[in-house]
Amino acid sequence: MEFDKGLLIVLSGPSGVGKGTVCAALRNFMPELVYSVSATTRNKREGEREGINYFFKTKDEFEQMIEQDQLLEWAEYVDNYYGTPRGFVEATIDQGKDIILEIEVQGALQVKQKFPHGIFIFLAPPDLEELRNRIVGRGTETEETINNRMDVAKEEIELMDNYNYVVVNDQVAHACESIRAIVTAEHLKKERQIAKYRKWLREV
């Protein structure tokens, strides 16, 4: 634990659980957090902006970023690459600011290897039926890919033990409140550790 650094918070969970939705709501709910912007090779959707939603890259550019070790983690997801630019994350926490990454499960496990003291939050569906409803409701998938997503989701839910916290996304506002409570609790924990360490320094 490095006392003067910010917290690195990872929000992850199965596809369709509502990571993107909760993270978008958190931007208003917790404007004090810094939001990591990922690089991706997927096409820009209508309304998305370079450097705001994603850094849009070609496959070659992305592979160059991997080779040059510019990514803290990366994963291939539905035939596209997604990754977290390392420099921005490191600079933010070095400045003592808290940063949040909204990423899928394979990437979260890579971050855990590199930052074991990060705060890992697993966003869970209220139940599997509701997860299926959300994936279907989003209307972006065929019946076959929905079944694939559900199989992958079941495997991902098994990986919940790697996380510090599980937040059930029943309602977006509840999930945001839980995440804020987690961040507040982690700050208090850190302050108590700092106070204890300072006291110990005075006594030795």
Ligand X SMILES: Nc1nc2c(ncn2[C@@H]2O[C@H](COP(=O)(O)OP(=O)(O)O)[C@@H](O)[C@H]2O)c(=O)[nH]1
List the binding residues for ATP. Answer: 13-20
What is the maximum alpha-carbon separation in the chain? 66
Q: Is residue 107 a contact point for ligand X (CB under 6 A)?
A: yes
Instruction: List for the chain the helix, strand, coil content (%; round to 5).
Output: 50, 20, 30
Q: Is residue 42 a contact point for ligand X (CB under 6 A)?
A: yes
Q: Which does 132 bind (CB under 5 to 8 A by kind): ligand X, ligand ADP, none?
A: none
Pairing of strands 38-40, 54-56: parallel
Q: Which does 163 bind (CB under 5 to 8 A by kind): ligand X, ligand ADP, none?
A: none
Q: Is residue 15 a contact point for ligand X (CB under 6 A)?
A: yes
DSSP code at position 19: H
Give the number of residues written for the chain. Answer: 204
Q: By CB under 6 A, name the binding residues for ligand ADP.
A: 15-21, 134, 137-138, 169, 171-172
CA atoms within a 13 Å half-sphere pointing along the CA-CB vector of 46? 0
Q: Is residue 75 a contact point for ligand X (CB under 6 A)?
A: yes
Among 26, 57, 84, 165, binds ligand X (CB under 6 A): 84
- Tell me which amino acid residue 82 is: Y
> Which residues lie near ligand X (CB under 6 A)?
15, 19-20, 38, 42, 73, 75, 77, 82-84, 102-104, 107
